[in-house]
Structures are given as C-alpha cells and as structure tokens.
Amino acid sequence: MPLTKISDSEAFKKAISENGRVFVLKNSTTCPISHAAFEEYKKFAEDQSGNLYYLNVQEARPLSNEIAEAYGIKHESPQVLLFENGEVKWNDSHWSITYSALQDKVNQ
C-alpha cells in the first residue's frame, strides 16, 4: 500500500474520520534516526492494505504540534501513532519504529 503524505489539519482530520485504523509517522527529513524509521515504515507499507500516512515535520510543523496537543502525546521525531476510531491506541518513537513493531500492532 502506498504511503500518503499529509501536510495540513484538514487532510489529517479527514484521514482519521474516514478510516477505522490509521498509522501516522511524524518524520524529520534531516535526522538519520528518522530516515531509518521511514525506511522501516515504507517496508511495512509494502505488506499492508491499511491506511498509512506520514508528515514531514519541517514542512508541517503546525500539524505536528496540533496532533501533539489534541491527543496529549509529547511530540517526538520520528514518531509513529496508531489511531483507531479517532483515538490514539499506541505510539512509539525513534529506534522502536521497526517493521516488526508495526506488524505486531496490526496483528493485535
């Protein structure tokens, strides 16, 4: 499944409201740890049929901050969030973003 880039609040809210289960990766385009996490996320996306989104923090800082405030989850980058029915059910960051960790959440 291809990844969908989101950059603004409207696109984010639409993705969350129209889909039951949604993964969102907050990615930094300048951080090597983010690069590694993004590679894991892309690999994960190849095996999924679900809803997979990402945002580049440098391009979408207001959206990144909005997500952190709205859901009470401290911003980190890289950071992955799993939304189910509009609520965050899981989040993790940095080296914990791996193909196997993401796959484990799908299988739960």
**What domains are there in the chain, each with its CATH number?**
4-107 (3.40.30.10)
CA distances from 48 to 40, 62, 64, 67 (A): 13, 28, 24, 24
Bridge partner residues of 52 (DSSP): 23
Who wins on pLDDT, 102 or 49? 102
Say yes or no to pLDDT of 80 above 70: yes
The amino acid at residue 63 is L
Output the pTM of the full model: 0.94
- Residue 45 CB coordination number (10 Å): 20
Q: What is the mean pLDDT of the chain?
A: 94
Rounded Cα–Cα distance for residues 10 and 66 (Å)? 11
